Amino acid sequence: MSPTPVNSAPIHPPVDTEESDLRVSERKTSAAGAKAVAISMKRSLAEQGVVKTAKNLLTMNQVDGFDCMSCAWPDPAPGERHTAEFCENGAKAVSWEGDRRRVTPEFFAEHSIADLRDRSAHWLESQGRLTHPMVRRAGGTHYEPISWDDAFDLVGTHLRALSSPDEALFYTSGRASNEAAFVYQLFARAYGTNNLPDCSNMCHESTSVGLAEAIGVGKGSVSLQDLHDADLIVISGQNPGTNHPRMLSALETAKKNGARILAVNPLPEAGLFKFDNPQTPRGMSGIGTHLADEFLQIRSNGDLALWQAFGHLLLAAEDRNPGNVLDRDFIERHTNGFEAYAAHVKDLDRDAVVAATGLTWGEIEKAAEMLATSKRIVNCWAMGITQHRNAVATIKEMVNVALLQGMIGKPGAGLCPVRGHSNVQGDRTMGIWERVADSFLDAIRDEFGFEPPREHGHDSVAAVQAMADGRASVFVGLGGNFSQAMSDTGVTEPALERCALTVQISTKLNRSHVVAGTDALILPALGRTEKDLTGGRAQRVTVEDSMSAVHASHGRSEPAGELLRSEVDILCGIARATLGADHLVPWAEFAADYDRIRDRIGRVVPGCEAYTEKVARSGGFTLAHPPRDSRTFPTASGKAEFTVSPLEVLTLPEGRLVLQSLRSHDQFNTTIYGLDDRYRGIHSGRRVVFISDADLRELGFADGDRVNLVSEWTDGSERRADDFRLVSYSTPKGCIAAYYPETNPLIPLESYADGSRCPTSKWVQVRLEPATR
């Protein structure tokens, strides 16, 4: 059963008061440079002070330092790192955590929950670091301090009172360490549920599903070296200048080594075109490195059609030049289903491709020629590909083309989904997954001696539905900001509020703390940059990057408060209070020494044998990936699978537009650092809609007009987000863009990808209405 659609959702949370100064300037055509360094220093000094700034920025991404929590881009090999191995946005993430301001019990005494609900997301996060465990008990108007032990008991009491463990939900945001993740999933399963929704469900789930089906492993197949050695890099649906700035260094190296770059995006993102590397004099002076050689300004959701056209054109090129385009030997030895695929794409409807992509056939041929003439292709993608209804099919279509040319398991080539949260991939490896394999559960049983539940748990969409319907009533969030990150804010917020208990393990105040259950806990955690002295010893944690490299991370800064506890310690405390002190799992021992957790990871998690020793080595180790390592494909057939998907052209009724929701340069997901989006020319405001001049003309609007966005769902329901300023921008006709999370009220909960159930954050049908102010 699905929750009742909301016809008119208010703005959640309120708009920041500073947004009235919104200003628009020319968009930029290059990324990083001197300005980026200046900005990261200014912000860092203001928020953290001089000593902490120096300490944090110099130990970031170093072998004996902490892993930057801003994205999952890999670090160079130990000997090849710069003294300052960070980017502007990584520095922002670090200063955000190093914030000198504090959210204390006095703060909560002063601000009622009702008051906090009326504050903007930016305001909430700007109040500083959380310092004390806090509780709001049934009927209370304010959060009040609570001791750690009482907090753990409260969770235990609620969990033990549920009639089924499946009435509890254990959400994870991708910043949690491997140790915290392993303990968390173990606790959920020992308690009796696989309800482990996570931010992957909203992020690269489509990648994990598509790759698992096609090549047998749901992870990318490249190393950083492969990027450096590639002769063609394709970047689709990704804005690296903002979201993975250190990727620009890898692209620069690749360009110097002779690579070409093909970018596919509805928007001409600055970071796709030119990189002014702040590590080099050339970059600082603004000469920089040109990146994309070709740019396909594709219509939203045109990628499936584009990759079918690439397959079609590669087959045609092979016909003209036999033996020189396809890798026949690879196809023969390592793949299944070539004939059916070839028949399907040979018969392609060109007009449909042109309609879906908005590109000319000539542009597509030119790009296909780049593929046909390259020997080492790395294919990168992110949210512009995964957050669509047909995302899984699109990803498999990209794999089809890689298989045609044998671009998996050879140097300089491969599939490169670029992950988001710094440890989102590691959390999955550790078993944070509502549908984890039976073999993983068997290993838990064999190691710990209890029988884990076998029934699949709820993903993020199902979690909201279960709360909305009253089938789930305890929500625990290990990091993250579920109320803002999830689609359909007007359904998600009341769903959280229906819970008997919500528990948020967090570093800063956010909206999910104020749309809380009847009983609500805020448990303040240590961040990645901070010293962790749990159990009286200096503890380290481990993380896995987007390229399956696993390594240690330890913070050096003084914790933001004396009462803060590590995520591992908090989770072990909850587990003991729920399951009893003499449980089959030695929770106290785990919290006292994380090596004891690592020993178990080594015995349970595939590929992590001898984990404790391997992560103790400088630089860590890389997890096995059979397709990458030996062209072995662990699919049912033992071969990589070509797949056939129908060519889809998503169409829009008259006067309607497709909205994509994306990140500004000044945010980390739901955390709004500031109100600028420098590369796109937006200053002091976030409620903007990027729209083409053609659409402005056709719809009778002008740049600067204020509009309301109304989304239309197939069941006839409508959702609204009010008062956005139209900004004339370079985007294909019919395709508009606005920031997330402000646009989440527009995305119906039922609007998710086939196969992966990832919300369709990049494709929402809307109409514009003039705003009356």
CB of 481 to ligand MGD, least distance (A): 4
The 10 Å Cβ neighbour count of residue 144 is 13
Q: Find the residue with minimal CB distance to Mo ion.
A: 420
CB of 174 to Mo ion, least distance (A): 7
CB of 576 to ligand MGD, least distance (A): 19
CB of 1 to ligand MGD, least distance (A): 24
Region from 167-175, 347-355, 395-403, 698-706 binding ligand MGD, contact rule CB under 6 A: 167-175
Could you tell me how far CA 338 lies from the centroid of its own chain?
Answer: 33
Partner that binds at residue 507, options Mo ion, ligand MGD, none, CB closer than 5 to 8 Å by kind: ligand MGD
CB of 511 to ligand MGD, least distance (A): 8
CA distances from 264 to 235, 241, 364, 494 (A): 6, 14, 11, 38
Q: 583-596 burial, b if ≥16 CB within 10 A, otherwise e?
A: bebbbbebbbebbb
R_g of the chain, CA atoms, integer Å: 25
Describe the crossing of helices 34-48 and 88-97 by its angle, rounded to 10 degrees. 0
Q: What is the DSSP letter of 80?
A: G
672 lies in the binding site for ligand MGD (CB under 6 A): no
Helix (H) or strand (E) holding 662: strand 657-662
Partner that binds at residue 178, options ligand MGD, Mo ion, none, CB closer than 5 to 8 Å by kind: none
Q: Are 591 and 572 in contact (CB under 8 A)?
A: yes
**Which of 191, 341, 482, 594 is the binder for ligand MGD (CB under 6 A)?**
482
Peptide bond into 13 cis (omega under 30): yes
The 10 Å Cβ neighbour count of residue 76 is 18
199 lies in the binding site for ligand MGD (CB under 6 A): yes
671 lies in the binding site for ligand MGD (CB under 6 A): yes
- Who's near 371: CB < 8 A, 6+ residues apart? 232, 234, 310, 314, 377, 401, 405
Residues 70-129 close enough to bind ligand MGD by CB under 6 A:
70-71, 89, 125
* Complex with Mo ion: residue 478 or 591, whichever CB lies closer: 478
**Which of 94, 169, 202, 368 is the binder for ligand MGD (CB under 6 A)?**
202
Cα 75 from Cα 70, distance rounded (Å): 13
**Which of 661, 692, 711, 751 is the binder for ligand MGD (CB under 6 A)?**
661
420 lies in the binding site for Mo ion (CB under 5 A): yes
**Which of 104, 507, 534, 557 is the binder for ligand MGD (CB under 6 A)?**
507
**Which of 56, 423, 425, 506 is the binder for ligand MGD (CB under 6 A)?**
506
762 lies in the binding site for ligand MGD (CB under 6 A): yes
Strand 274-276 to 289-290 pairing? antiparallel
Residue by residue, DSSP assigns 617-648 as STT-EE---HHHHHS---STTSSEE-------
Cα 520 from Cα 362, distance rounded (Å): 58
Partner that binds at residue 303, options Mo ion, ligand MGD, none, CB closer than 5 to 8 Å by kind: ligand MGD
Give the CA diameter of the chain. Answer: 76
* Complex with ligand MGD: residue 30 or 70, whichever CB lies closer: 70
**Which of 75, 231, 276, 303 is the binder for ligand MGD (CB under 6 A)?**
303
Residues 197-226 close enough to bind Mo ion by CB under 5 A:
203
**Which of 134, 135, 203, 407 is the binder for ligand MGD (CB under 6 A)?**
203
Residues 208-237: x/- map of binding to ligand MGD (CB under 6 A)?
Answer: ----------------------------xx
Number of residues that bind Mo ion (CB under 5 A): 2
Partner that binds at residue 481, options ligand MGD, Mo ion, none, CB closer than 5 to 8 Å by kind: ligand MGD
- Who's near 736: CB < 8 A, 6+ residues apart? 657, 658, 659, 660, 689, 690, 691, 692, 695, 766
CB of 596 to ligand MGD, least distance (A): 21
Q: Are 643 and 209 in contact (CB under 8 A)?
A: no
Q: Are 588 and 572 in contact (CB under 8 A)?
A: yes
* Complex with ligand MGD: residue 525 or 753, whichever CB lies closer: 525
* Complex with ligand MGD: residue 121 or 222, whichever CB lies closer: 121
And the tokens for 24?
């628009």
- Of 301, 235, 214, which Cα lies nearest the Cα of 755? 214
- For Mo ion, the binding residues (CB under 5 A) are 203, 420
- For ligand MGD, the binding residues (CB under 6 A) are 70-71, 89, 125, 173-175, 199, 202-203, 236-239, 242-244, 264-267, 269, 298, 300-301, 303, 382-384, 387, 420-421, 478-482, 485, 505-508, 510, 525, 527-528, 567, 660-663, 667-671, 740-741, 743-744, 747, 761-762
